[in-house]
Amino acid sequence: MAEVHTLSRCVIKPSQPENRQEKQHDQVLHLTPWDLRLIPIEYIQYGILFSKPPDATNDAIISFINQLKTSLSIALGHFYPLAGRLNIFRHHEATTPFVTISLTCNNEGAEFIHAVTTRKFTTSEIIESFIVPPLVQLFFPLNKVKNHEGNSQPLLAIQVTELADGVFLGCSLNHVIGDGFSFWHFINCWSEISRTGNLKVANPPVLDRYFFGSLTSPIHLPLMDVEDIIKVRDNFDLPSLEEGVFHFSAQTIAKLKAKANTEMNTNNISSLQALLAHVWRSITIARSLEQHQVTSFYLILGCRPRLNHPLPVTYFGSAILVTDPTKLTAGELVEGSLGSTASMLNHVVASMTATKIQNFIEKWPETVSFSNLGRCTPCDLVSEGSHRFDIYWNDFGLGKPIAVRSGIANKFDGAVTIYPSPQMGGITLEICLSPSVLMKLIENHDFMDTVAHF
């Protein structure tokens, strides 16, 4: 018997807010290089866990589910591209065949699923374990669906799963349509509507796509078919993986930051850079790499504030790029100082200038490269997410979330997801590793002494 049972499934279509009266049905949004680079990979999957009131009746839960559906419809009225579908056009008649991909805002809707665990699965099994229970993967819809499938699959799917003493709200969003910043902006607005009953939101999204001056749309992809790029993602096998969740307090992070800056006689190293340097070293030890083996760290950065004319924080779309790798041998990393490693991460972040970003995006149609998670080796780490995401203020009517977790999408050995901690000023890292390496990391007393327990 399946451990998660679907009680109901429906399509939620957007309501029509006042400020959308001038918008035309079937409006087409052309996609930017930021968006198109993500075609081969899978949807974004984040979910938040809530405690269920001890006296909650079945009628109360049904009322809450209906409230979520109503507020989701209103939220989709503001974020109406999420109710659309991708259009993939194959131009075989051209002298040089090409493909164009766009987003049609046709109001086909988002999927909404109400589910329940078939055994007494509790919130404590999630929040009291360093290792994420495999069952959590079943709390997300559209598992293993890739972004290019947004021409037939919904661009947004929600699954509300009842636990014995809680509710898990799992969301899958097509990564071509938005990045993590856009994901949490949508969740923030939806929770605001659900909590207050307001039809308007405090920070409405900016939906027009941003193209640098020299770019024209739609962008021509020099391909016979979109399947030509899907092979980029499919051409490797994923090993057995587990995820560990580690909380770091504000006090611990402050100590790491002070240590790193003191060692380098600077004040430029950030809290996150110091923490990631510490984690990189600890994981390298757990991996038992040979001293000569090279290990690389890639950071996925948000580009909105990095441009000469910064994009608004409410820009709805993808605006992320990966840094050049920071490379060290395992020996250099383990034997070197925290400050020297953190300083290298700081330098690679500083190198992501507005000019560098603009040059990459403007030249992308000439070179056309796609996100390829398969290039990462079991020696590497890739970080994504942000400790600045507004996660723990998303009250839909059950109070604030007590935990955040991600789904199975885009997971690989060395994936590090960054969240704010439930405790003010802290940072939570969700780290994906082979089971044996993850266990060695947990058994490393030097590392675990820096991990908060609450």
Query: For residues 97 and 403, what is the distance between their CA atoms, to the nearest angstrom?
Result: 48
220 is catalytic: no
Whether 219 contacts 30, CB under 8 Å = yes
Q: Among 125, 50, 35, which Cα is nearest to 81's?
A: 35
Whether 179 contacts 317, CB under 8 Å = yes
In whole angstroms, what separates CA 174 from the centre of its chain?
10
Q: Which of 78, 175, 185, 247 is catalytic?
A: 175
DSSP secondary structure of 264-306 = HT-S---HHHHHHHHHHHHHHHHTT--TT-EEEEEEEEE-GGG
Whether 44 contacts 170, CB under 8 Å = no
**Residue 222: phi, psi to the nearest 5?**
-75, 70
Q: Tell me which amino acid residue 128 is.
A: E
Q: Quick one: tokens of 176?
A: 């071509």
Q: Among 307, 333, 332, which Cα is nearest to 321's?
A: 307
175 is catalytic: yes
**Residue 292: phi, psi to the nearest 5?**
-85, -10
Paired residues of 146 in beta bridges: 42
Whether 245 contacts 419, CB under 8 Å = no
Angular region, 212: left φ>0, alpha ψ -120 to 50, beta rest:
beta
Residues catalogued as catalytic: 175, 395
